[in-house]
């Protein structure tokens, strides 16, 4: 497979691993955060930790949209599925997120009309096919998926589809990075920048991390060689005492981002004053709301939502894990009350969540069986 096999080439990977071992300074610890859940998944999937020197510590960041979605939002969405004329649609990622009354999959088994779609356009097509029903698309994701939601809404307006609604839970990666950088217990020496988000927003927006916080950022791809090369770039910067933004994933990520995608987002969305992130709390200007011009397709306008906050169980230490203060297995619930089958905390829900990845690929759930 082109663009995959080259980046999984064993000789090149071994060479990169050797280089990384050679350049780290033995008496310092390097703490790097991979911001993106896709990276977390790749790191565990490919066993990248085994290829690193022991003094490189990877901290799994907030870039998993499923993980940071507060339970109250899930409840609001699933509440809509109770209405007999509603078809609730969402990505496969959403189907196992627990709301207070269960996951979408469980409610589907109880008879709600809940369907998995692969793109918001599929949900729009469903609305055209079922004009008597109201089709709600429960939109989640960072800047990676927001453009496709935006384009779908533009299309819905063009086609004058009146029974299609979007519940936007889109969030923005930069405010989350800023919140982590501002946190008093922050101990991060550099960031692996999110590859997929950056295809949309480009590389320039990370410059504040280098300029204001003095931390290097390397936008990274998702294959083993990508990750090792990016870590080499980060270590070199840390060793040299520099803080710059670099792009390792230049075969996919343009420096300026994707103009058309950004334009579609700007046409459809505006920034919310604040939004709740599971595990991190309220972060100002961190999420996208559908603009007034698209109100007829905005589920928040069309339906009445309870908008209640549901707090996470106190014992779950998701916030500490998200900020890198605790490793997943150091949480009191990990592998006991909280497992991928019965997630308590958000990070156990998606295979991109730090805890689920940790559970799946490095730790066997013996205690929880």
Partner 1 sequence: MVMSRRRAVFQDASIELAHGSGGKATRKLIEGLIAPYFFKEDAALTDSATLSVGDLRLALTADSFVVHPLRFPGGSIGELAVNGTINDLAMGGAEPQALLVTFILEAGMDTKVLQEEIATMAATAEKAGVAIVGGDTKVVEHGKGDGLYITTAGLGMVHPHANLNPLSIKEGDRVILSGPIGDHGITILLARGEIDLQASIASDTRPLWPLVKPLFDVYGEAIRWMRDPTRGGVATALNELARDTGLTVMLEEAAIAVRKEVRGACELLGLDPLHIANEGQFLAVVSAESAEDVLSLLHRTPGGEEARIIGSLKRASRPGVLVRSDYGSTRIIDMLVGDPLPRIC
Q: Is 361 in the site for partner 1 (CB under 8 A)?
A: yes
Q: Is 238 in the site for partner 1 (CB under 8 A)?
A: no
Q: How many CB atoms lie within 10 A of CB 343?
A: 25
Q: Is 337 in the site for partner 1 (CB under 8 A)?
A: no
What is the spatial distance between Cα 293 and Cα 267, in angstroms, rounded to a whole number? 9
Q: What is the contact mask toward partner 1 in residues 145 to 184, using x (rule: CB under 8 A)?
A: x---------------------------------------
User: Is 254:202 a contact under the CB 8 Å cutoff?
Assistant: yes
Q: Which helix (H) or strand (E) holds 182?
A: helix 173-182
Q: Which helix (H) or strand (E) holds 90?
A: strand 86-90
CB of 156 to partner 1, least distance (A): 19
User: Is 42:222 a contact under the CB 8 Å cutoff?
Assistant: yes
Q: What is the contact mask toward partner 1 in residues 62 to 81, using x (rule: CB under 8 A)?
A: ---xx---------------
Q: Which residues of 18-48 are buried (b: 16+ CB within 10 A; e: fewer)?
A: ebbeeebeeeeebbbbbbbbbbbbbbbebeb
Q: Is 352 in the site for partner 1 (CB under 8 A)?
A: yes
Q: Which is nearer to partner 1, 130 or 320 (CB)?
A: 130
Task: Collect all residues with Cβ–Cβ distance below 8 Å to 45 and sequence separation of at least 6.
Answer: 357, 361
CB of 70 to partner 1, least distance (A): 16
Map residue 353 onto helix, strand or coil: coil
Among 23, 95, 305, 310, binds partner 1 (CB under 8 A): 95
Task: Collect all residues with Cβ–Cβ distance below 8 Å to 125 and sequence separation of at least 6.
Answer: none
Q: Is 273 in the site for partner 1 (CB under 8 A)?
A: no
CB of 133 to partner 1, least distance (A): 17
What is the spatial distance between Cα 78 and Cα 88, in angstroms, rounded to a whole number? 8
What is the spatial distance between Cα 9 and Cα 256, in angstroms, rounded to a whole number? 30
Q: Is 130 in the site for partner 1 (CB under 8 A)?
A: no
Q: Which is nearer to partner 1, 164 or 216 (CB)?
A: 164
Q: Is 34 in the site for partner 1 (CB under 8 A)?
A: no
Q: Which two tokens stand for residue 255?
A: 């420096």
Q: Is 88 in the site for partner 1 (CB under 8 A)?
A: no
Q: Which is nearer to partner 1, 91 or 269 (CB)?
A: 91
> In angstroms, how far is CA 118 from the centroid of its own chain?
17
CB of 310 to partner 1, least distance (A): 20
CB of 272 to partner 1, least distance (A): 18
Q: Which two tokens stand for residue 323?
A: 């900020």
Rg (CA), the chain: 21
Q: Is 91 in the site for partner 1 (CB under 8 A)?
A: yes
Q: Is 252 in the site for partner 1 (CB under 8 A)?
A: no
Q: Is 54 in the site for partner 1 (CB under 8 A)?
A: no
Among 51, 58, 219, 233, binds partner 1 (CB under 8 A): 51
Binding residues for partner 1 (CB under 8 A): 1, 4, 8, 10, 13-14, 17, 41, 44-51, 65-66, 91-93, 95-96, 105-106, 108-110, 116-119, 122, 140-142, 144-145, 224, 340-341, 350-352, 359-366, 369
């Amino acid at each position: 497979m082109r663009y995959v096999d080259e980046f999984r080439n064993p000789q090149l990977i071994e060479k990169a691993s050797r280089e990384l071992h050679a350049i780290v300074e033995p008496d310092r610890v390097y703490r790097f955060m991979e911001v993106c859940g896709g990276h977390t998944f790749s790191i565990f999937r490919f066993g990248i930790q085994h290829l690193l020197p022991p003094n490189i510590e990877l901290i799994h960041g907030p870039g998993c949209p499923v993980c940071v979605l507060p339970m109250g939002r899930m409840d609001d969405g699933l509440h809509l599925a109770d209405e007999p004329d509603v078809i609730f649609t969402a990505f496969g990622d959403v189907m196992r997120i627990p709301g207070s009354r269960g996951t979408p999959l469980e409610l589907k088994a109880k008879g709600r009309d809940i369907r998995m779609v692969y793109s918001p356009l599929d949900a729009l097509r469903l609305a055209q096919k079922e004009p008597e029903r109201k089709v709600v698309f429960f939109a989640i994701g960072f800047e990676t998926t927001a453009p496709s939601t935006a384009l779908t809404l533009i299309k819905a307006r063009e086609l004058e589809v009146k029974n299609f609604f979007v519940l936007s839970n889109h969030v923005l990666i930069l405010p989350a990075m800023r919140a982590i950088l501002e946190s008093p217990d922050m101990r991060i020496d550099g960031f692996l920048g999110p590859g997929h988000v950056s295809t949309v927003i480009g590389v320039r927006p990370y410059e504040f991390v280098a300029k204001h916080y003095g931390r290097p950022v390397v936008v990274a791809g998702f294959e083993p060689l990508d990750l090792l090369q990016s870590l080499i770039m980060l270590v070199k910067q840390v060793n040299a005492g520099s803080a710059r933004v670099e792009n390792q994933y230049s075969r996919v990520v343009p420096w300026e981002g994707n103009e058309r995608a950004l334009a579609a987002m700007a046409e459809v969305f505006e920034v919310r004053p604040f939004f709740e992130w599971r595990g991190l709390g309220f972060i100002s200007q961190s999420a996208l709301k559908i603009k007034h011009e698209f109100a007829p397709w905005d589920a928040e306008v069309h339906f009445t939502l309870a908008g209640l906050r549901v707090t996470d169980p106190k014992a779950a230490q998701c916030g500490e894990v998200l900020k890198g203060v605790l490793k997943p297995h150091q949480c009191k619930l990990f592998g006991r009350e909280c497992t991928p089958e019965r997630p308590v905390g958000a990070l156990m829900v998606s295979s991109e969540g730090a805890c689920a990845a940790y559970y799946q690929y490095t730790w066997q759930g013996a205690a929880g069986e």
